Amino acid sequence: MQLELRHLEAVCRIAEAGSLGRAALRLGISQPALSAQLRRIERVAGGELFLRGRHGVEPTPLGEFVLSKARLVLGEMDAIAAGARAVAPDTPLRLGCILLVLVDTLLGRLEQVLAGREIAVSVEHSATTLTRQLGAGRYDAVLYGEVNDHEVPLPEGTTARTLIPREPFCVRLSAEHPLAGKERIALAELAGESWMTLVEDDDGGPEALVAACERAGFTPSLRHRVADRKIHYGLIASGRAISLSQPTAPAAEGTVLRPLEGDPVTGRIRLAWNRSTVAARHAELLYRAAAEAYLANVANNPFHQEWWSARPELHPILTPE
C-alpha cells in the first residue's frame, strides 16, 4: 500500500480532533473503519503515529514528522485548487455553515441574489473545522456562530464580517415541563436539569453555559450530545433533556421556547470568506442573503421579535442593490 491524499487527510483530522471518534465524525466514516485505516497507515509509516489514552490521542515523534509533511502536501494541493478557482470564476460557490437556524432559508435567498451561479452548501458541526477548511481552500465562505466572548480563529487570507452582533439564547424544554407556562425563566430554576449540546460544540457554547450556571449557583449536567435535530427535539419533548436554543428557532412538536432572565448567554453570527476566491461584490451578496435569511426567522417567536425590534443598532446593514 502507498500513502494517498486521503490517508494524509485522515492523519491530520485525527490530530486536529484529538480523538478517533471525533475525527471519524468529521470525516464521515465509522470509528472502527478509521481505526483500521490508521493501522494500515502506521504499517506503511513504520510505527505508531499516535499514543492512545483515556483522554484521546497525542502524536508520537514519528506522528509529528508525518503530520508536518502531510500538512505541507495538503496545503499545496489546496493552493492549487484555490488558484484554479480564482482563474475560473464560474465554478460553484462552496459555502460551509454550522447548524444555524437561518441555514434552512439561506439557500433560497442565495439563489435569488446569486442567480445563475451554482451554489454548494454544506453543514458542519464544528466552527473550528469550518474556518480551518476555509483556510485550506475547501470552502469559499463560511457562516458560523460564537457564544459570549469566544472567538473562532481565522486563517490568513480571509476576511470576516459580523452579521448579527448579539442575540440572547433561550431555553427549549418539554411542553409538559413545570416551567413551560412561564413567560420568562431564571437560569437558577433549571438547576438539576439534564442539558443537551451538539456533538461538536466548539463555538464557546458549553463553556458559556457552565459559567452562567455557576453564576446562578449550580453546575449544569451536560449529559446528552447529539447532531440530529429530530433526535434533539425528541429528547426534549420526552422530558429527558433541555437545551439552549437560538431565539429564532422554529416551533417543534411537544416543546416550547422560553427566554432566560437577564440574557445570561448570548451569541453572534459571522460570515468569513477567502479573498482569493470570493470577490468583494459576491461577499456583499452573501452577506445580504444571510441577513435576509436571519430576518425571515425573527418573527418565529414573539418574545424575540419584541427584543429585536427594540434594538435597531444590532440590525444588519444592507447596502442598496
Q: Which residues contact 143 (CB under 8 A, 6 or more apart)?
A: 95, 96, 97, 98, 100, 102, 103, 106, 163, 269, 270, 271, 290
Nine-digit cell at 15? 490530530
Largest CA distance in the chain: 63
Q: In 3D, which of 193, 314, 312, 188 has the Cα closest to residue 260?
A: 188
Dump pLDDT digits (tens) for 267-288.
Answer: 999 999 988 888 888 889 899 9
pLDDT of residue 81: 61
How sure is the predictor about 190, in pLDDT bands with cuts at 50, 70 and 90?
Answer: very high
How sure is the predictor about 198, in pLDDT bands with cuts at 50, 70 and 90?
Answer: low
Candidate from 50-64, 93-107, 124-138, 167-181 with smallest mean pLDDT: 124-138
Of 239 and 125, the one with more pLDDT: 239
pLDDT over threshold 80, residue 76? no
CA distances to 15, 22, 48 from 64, in Å = 9, 19, 11
Highest-pLDDT range among 30-44, 208-222, 251-265: 251-265
Highest-pLDDT range among 17-26, 198-207, 303-312: 303-312
pTM check: above 0.75: no
- Average pLDDT of the residues of the chain: 86
Across the range 157-175, mean pLDDT stands at 94
pLDDT of residue 103: 87
